[in-house]
Structure 1
Amino acid sequence: MIALALPAETENGSFEAPGLEDLHLPNIIPWMGEGAGFNKQMLLVLLSVVLISWFFVAAARRGKMVPGKFQFLGEWGYGFVRNSVGKDVIGERDFKPFVPLLVSLFFFILVNNFFGSIPLIQLPTTSHVGTAYALAGIVYVFWIGLGLKKHGLRYFKVATVPSGVPKAILPLIILIEIISTFLVRPITHSLRLFATMLSGHLIIALSAAGTAYLFLDADGPLKALGVLTFAGGVGMYLFEVMIQVLQAYVFVLLTAIYIQGSLAEDH
């Protein structure tokens, strides 16, 4: 449970809810002045790359016709993204070149989300908006570049001019499409992941800090309420694990939808 060691009591004995500053440790290697440096988030991002690489290399190292549990898990995870996202969304004819990107994104986000539920680590790196912006930015540049490669400059017409729209309202529709496709889409793609992970992390931290306060510092009958906050915190913890998986899936699903849109012949 997160934040059991957080300060839950002020000098006058009242409860103080944890804030964003309580969820992150100081920089491991500071540089460029106060507030900048190599921090826990950066370390976990590097660790996730090592873990994912090791997992798939180890799962594929001794491939057998009848896979063992480890090989089965790797093949199942790869096949889930390949078929349920890539093949079903992009289409059987075009999906194969994009499977490596989709699989990499899914497992990178999944592992970094899971870090928020692992004791002693307890930090989903995607709860930092910079991580979410970087992932969405990579996808944004990729599907625009793919559209230009497929259609040339005509892509901007394909992406912003829907077919069958009356000419009288076409300028307004084009403006809306430009804003929603090229401005709003990358923002919502990133903030959906960031906001969900941050809010879940804060809720669990609040439940943990409230439980610690009620058990250790509250008086009389209020201590009994600690059982309720603890039970609620466990429930939110399990719910957060489900959300961590769901958000990885949603991010990759939207990526596949954007790729499919870049390949489509009309809007």
Structure 2
Amino acid sequence: MTKPILLVVLSSVIIAGVLLVGTRNLKLVPGRFQFSLEYIYGVARDGIAKEQIGAEYRKYVPFIMALFSFVLVNNIFGIVPLVQFPTMAHIGFPAALALLLVYPTYHWVGIRRHGLRGYLRNQFIVPDVPKPVLWGLLIPTEVILKFFFDPVTLALRVFAAMFAGHLLVAVFALGGEFLLFEAAPLLKPISAVSFAFAVAITLLEAFIQVLQAYIFATLSAHFIGRSLAEHH
């Protein structure tokens, strides 16, 4: 049992608990807590699933909502005092979401809609393109993109953002501590600048944490919508 695994379990408990409590006694005129939950759900439903998937978006809203809230909570752990570790800065977790959940989901819904042959044709064959260009360039490129780069970049995007932000905060915080306690007396005032940068980057990181959760869910919905589409 490592800290990242413990945080993943904790995030699942937090999300389930918040949603169960928030929907236990729904009111026509919502209070602040219910309104906040409805707003987050509205973002996942209307701002992500409906925009990216299209007419059949409703059946995929729970999946997109789960992805969005899970990535969001695990990202926000990075600025929670005493925790201060964004779980998605550990590459295994975004890779698991992308490769074990999103990747098979969007291929499966496409195959179920079009059939295996129809899905492959729909994804890889562009009409009215000369066969040498189609088979020599476009199809190999599409295969590499859709079967390798899409899930890999989906995982790497959130991982890189969380890892870089967390690392920058640590660098400036430790640099400020060193200047304050270990450096020569003339350099000690500079520690305030280092701490100020740590605070500023933490605020920026909070924005990026929310943004990356939104991007992860949006790209996942986009892949599903692309698989369901009738044309390339």
The interval holding the TM-score normalised by the smaller chain is over 0.9
SS at match of 1:164: coil
1:165 to partner: Cα distance: 2.4
Q: Which moved more, 1:217-226 or 1:117-126?
A: 217-226
Show the counterpart of 1:123. 85
Is 2:136 the counterpart of 1:157? no
Match of 1:219 in 2: 184
Aligned residue identity for 1:95: Y
2:27 maps to which of 64, 68, 79: 64
Q: CA deviation at 1:166?
A: 2.8
Greater share of residues in helix: 2
Q: TM-score, normalised by structure 1?
A: 0.84
| Structure 2 SS opposite 1:169 | helix
Aligned-partner Cα distance in 2 for 1:80–1:184 = 27
- Which residue pairs with 2:171 in the alignment? 206
Asked whether the equivalents of residues 133 and 190 of structure 1 are also in contact (C-alpha less than 8 Å), the reply is: yes
Ranges in structure 1 where 5+ consecutive residues have no aligned partner? 1-37
- 102, 110, 123: which one pairs with 1:139? 102
Match in the other structure for 1:187: 152
1:33 is matched with which residue?
none
Amino acid at match of 1:158: N
Q: How many residues align?
A: 229
Residue 88 of structure 1, CA deviation = 1.4
Same amino acid, percent of matched pairs: 43
Give the letter aligned to residue 221 of structure 2.
Answer: A
With normalisation by structure 2, the TM-score equals 0.97
- Amino acid across the alignment from 2:23: A
- CA distances 1:10-43 after superposition (whole Å, capped 9, x unpaired): xxxxxxxxxxxxxxxxxxxxxxxxxxxx101111
Question: Structure 2 CA distance, aligned partners of 1:136 and 1:194?
Answer: 11
Residue pair 1:115, 1:125 contacting (<8 A) in 2 also: yes
Distance 2:148 2:177 in 1: 44
Q: Distance in 2 between matches of 1:253 and 1:174?
A: 25
Cα drift, residue 58 of structure 1? 0.9
In structure 2, the partner of 1:236 is: 201
Any conservation in 2 of the 1:163–1:266 contact (CA below 8 Å)?
Answer: no
Task: Give the distance between the partners of 1:140 and 1:84, measured in 2 at CA.
Answer: 21
- Aligned AA (1:62): N
- Name the aligned partner's letter for residue 47 of structure 1: L
> For residues 216 and 183 of structure 1, what CA distance do their matches in structure 2 show?
48
Q: Is the 8 A contact 1:45 1:112 kept in 2?
A: yes
Determine helix, strand or coil for the equivalent of 2:92: helix
Alignment deviations for residues 195-219 of structure 1 (CA, whole Å, 9 cap, x no partner)? 1111111111101100100111111
Q: Which runs of 4+ in 1 moved over 6 A?
A: none
Local SS of the residue matching 2:129: coil
* Structure 2 CA distance for aligned equivalents of residues 55 and 163 of structure 1: 49
